[in-house]
Amino acid sequence: MEESALRREDKKVVAVVGAGLVGALNACFFAKRGFEVEVFETREDIRKAKVVKGRSINLALSHRGRTALKHVGMEDKIVSKGIPMNARMIHSLSGKQSPIPYGKKGQYILSVDRANLNKELLTAAETYPNTKLNFDHKLQDWSAETGLMTFARPHGSKTQTQADLIVGCDGAFSAVRKQFLRRSRFNYSQTYIPHGYMELTMRPRNGEFAMKPNYLHIWPRNTFMMIALPNLDKTFTCTLFMPFEEFEKISTGDEVIEFFQKYFPDAIPLIGAATLRRDYFRLPAQAMVSVKCSPYHIGDKCVLMGDAAHAVVPFYGQGMNAGFEDCIVFDEIMNQFNEDFSAVLPEYSRVRVPDDHAIADLAMYNYVEVIQFLLHMLHMFFSNANI
């Protein structure tokens, strides 16, 4: 086993575990403060990888997330590559489209490419001379007493390193969080919802977007829902949310078309029947989990942020945004307590747990209510249209 001492020039060492969206952004926040930042990521460098595996292709970036990006000078860069969505566009069964604005005139959320956002944040983190990105490092275990971490490396080797603070940004199935589970008075709950999701691509038509681009398109259908967010290459990524048992009922190309004919007929020519028949079976539907826990810290040694602390179901579009906000809240508390980890960490848990739990509850509430609400709006549109 190889051992490396991280401490340089007497600066405190902060290890960020996970270089996903929240980890990469957090590395910038800590680097800006002058800590020696070491980022450890289980995957290879996605900027060099041929295929980037992961969840949803694009995401809705809202005010919360933008504010955090602004703190590290990244807002303009990311916003310039986002597509504004001013309203939801509700698709009725008959194909009629009705917009519901997100807010006042001029307000919008942005559709951003997950992989690009992650890559830009990694590059931003790397521009700080006090930051080192370590890819192909999978955290296996760590000690709350010493801060010693053990990583699995490719080809079966292991490496150990030590840090003053470990920041767990390693997502919904966090390895950092496992250590918390062994401790007394740590509360934890995890809920899988009965729905899964599947992503389908709607290609451009005659070189243009197949639907109006500045909208988040929604097809609400009782227990199903499909949404579509625009991408810069003029495609839309459609996400079909449906109970797993419904996904499993469809096993042939003909059944896919029959299903779309019944529930999303206007989407068939837009996605293309042949594409639908093929792409529906490309990947199995993915599960969605909601994780709540508290506290978010252990002593002055470790803190959880992003999905590692609060994975939420995606119906509120706030998972990443809330994770980005975690970074600002932590940063503000660092100012308040002069970077004294023994005071900052408990305060962070005290302040942040209730807010993140509220986001998780709102997301779950939206999961239950959103389809019913949108159907209701749809009925209202049509009854008004009849008057």
Amino acid 59 reads L
Q: Minimum distance from CB of 258 to ligand FAD (Å)?
A: 25
| Closest CB 94 distance from ligand FAD, rounded Å | 27
Which residue's CB is nearer to ligand FAD, number 56 or number 214?
56
What's the min distance (Å) between Cβ of 102 and ligand FAD? Answer: 13
CB of 56 to ligand FAD, least distance (A): 4
| ω into 314 cis (within 30 of 0) | no
Q: Is 208 exposed, middle or buried, given 0-12, 13-18 or 19+ CB atoms closer than 10 A?
A: exposed
Q: Which residue is nearest to ligand FAD (CB)?
A: 20
Cα 49 from Cα 207, distance rounded (Å): 28
- State the minimum distance, in angstroms, from the CB of residue 387 to ligand FAD: 35
The residues binding ligand FAD (CB under 6 A) are: 17-23, 40-43, 55-56, 59-60, 138-139, 169-171, 175, 197, 239, 288, 306-308, 314, 317-321, 323
Q: Between residues 175 and 353, which has the closer beta carbon with respect to ligand FAD?
A: 175
| HSE-up of residue 352 (Cα within 13 Å, Cβ side) | 30
The amino acid at residue 94 is S
Beta strands 165-168 and 302-304: pairing type? parallel
Cα–chain-centroid distance for residue 221? 25
Lateral strand order in the sheet of 215-221: 97-101, 87-91, 215-221, 224-230, 236-243, 187-202, 286-294
Distance separating alpha carbons of residues 199 and 56, to the nearest angstrom: 8
Q: Which is nearer to ligand FAD, 82 or 314 (CB)?
A: 314
Q: How far is the CB of 363 from ligand FAD (least distance, A)?
A: 9
Q: Which is nearer to ligand FAD, 363 or 385 (CB)?
A: 363
Q: Which CB sits closer to ligand FAD, 19 or 329?
A: 19
Q: Which of 23, 40, 42, 33 is nearest to 303 (CA)?
A: 23
Of 173 and 373, which has the nearer Cβ to ligand FAD?
173
Nearest approach, Cβ of 384 to ligand FAD (angstroms)? 29
Q: How far is the CB of 124 from ligand FAD (least distance, A)?
A: 15
Cα–Cα distance, 86 to 383 (Å, whole number): 24
Task: Give the CA dihedral 358, 364, 365, 368, nearest 10 degrees.
Answer: 180
Q: Which is nearer to ligand FAD, 253 or 279 (CB)?
A: 279
Smallest gap from residue 382 Cβ to ligand FAD (A)? 28
Q: Are 78 and 120 in contact (CB under 8 A)?
A: yes
Decide whether 86 or 318 has the Cβ nearer to ligand FAD: 318
Do strands 109-113 and 58-61 pair parallel, antiparallel, or not at all (unpaired)? Answer: antiparallel
Radius of gyration of the chain (CA): 22
169 vs 302 by CB, closer to ligand FAD? 169
